[in-house]
Amino acid sequence: MKSVVHEIYLSVSGEGISTGLPTIFVRFAGCSLRCGMDGSRKLWCDTPYALSPNAGKEMELEDVISEIGSISSTPIQILLTGGEPLENSNRIFSQTLAEKLKQSRQVSGLYTRVRVETNGAEPISNLENMVFTLDYKLPGSGMENKMILENLEFVRDRRDNLDEIKFVIRDRKDFDRTLEVIDGFKLKGNLLASPVFGELTPEILVDWIKENNRTDLRLSLQTHKYIWGEKRGV
């Protein structure tokens, strides 16, 4: 089994509830979304270099597993990201990788499920051995019409305390839409509000959260960018 992998590396998780945890990133190539291109504003994708399905090298499943093991002999968090790890051929590869890693980590019982950072345009309800960082693309992304709403219901109803739903907020319209989605779908759990880096300051987003008394929202910053800037592979 093969898929195109852009990079595999060790760092710390930069966002969400796992911020700061040592993490091995497996970045797949290929994503059909173009976030930020709302008709008048530019692409904001963090990883435009991985958008093409050919932006990497074809790797066998066992080679990916071997590289993960060579990076850390101790089980640590594995994050499947992209690109989009659930799009096209990446999907079955990610699912099988998650299954194999769970089997190999049964004895230790540590990080037996991989974390999958997914763009909201791929179904997640039929996947196993994964926890999800699920994006909901807001109007400022220009991609809201690509969202699979059943994904929100799935995360809400399974009540896994490691799942999270992320709202990347560009402006006040995006923030207001975030509240509509949370209230409309009665979402609970780990709900992340993240400002578009370089476009919306964290201070303004915090003010909006406070003004609306949203104790259900957690501010999530891209801490890796504050540490290393736009540097890749960190």
> pLDDT (tens digit, 9 = 90+) per residue, 49-58?
888 888 899 9
Prediction pTM value: 0.93
Q: Which residue carries 């990080």 as its tokens?
A: 111
pLDDT value at position 226? Answer: 74
Annotated binding site for substrate: 12-14, 27, 81
Nearest partner of 41 among 231, 200, 208, judged by Cα: 200
Annotated binding site for Mg(2+): 47
Q: What whole-number distance in Å separates Cα of residue 44 and Cα of residue 157?
A: 31
pLDDT value at position 234? Answer: 67
CB atoms within 10 A of CB 173: 12
Show me where the domains of the chain are located: 2-228
224 pLDDT exceeds 80? Answer: no
Annotated binding site for [4Fe-4S] cluster: 31, 35, 45
DSSP bridge partners of 131: 115
Does 2-228 carry CATH code 3.20.20.70?
A: yes
pLDDT value at position 174? Answer: 97
Nearest partner of 217 among 168, 160, 145, judged by Cα: 168
Annotated binding site: 12-14, 27, 31, 35, 44-47, 81, 83
51, 31 contact by CB (below 8 A): yes
Burial class (CB in 10 A: 0-12, 13-18, 19+), 207: exposed
Q: What whole-number distance in Å separates Cα of residue 116 and Cα of residue 114?
A: 6
Annotated binding site for S-adenosyl-L-methionine: 44-46, 83
161 pLDDT exceeds 90? Answer: yes
Task: Provide the strand spans (E) within the chain.
Answer: 2-12, 22-28, 57-60, 77-81, 114-118, 130-136, 164-169, 190-195, 217-219
Q: What whole-number distance in Å separates Cα of residue 183 and Cα of residue 177?
A: 10
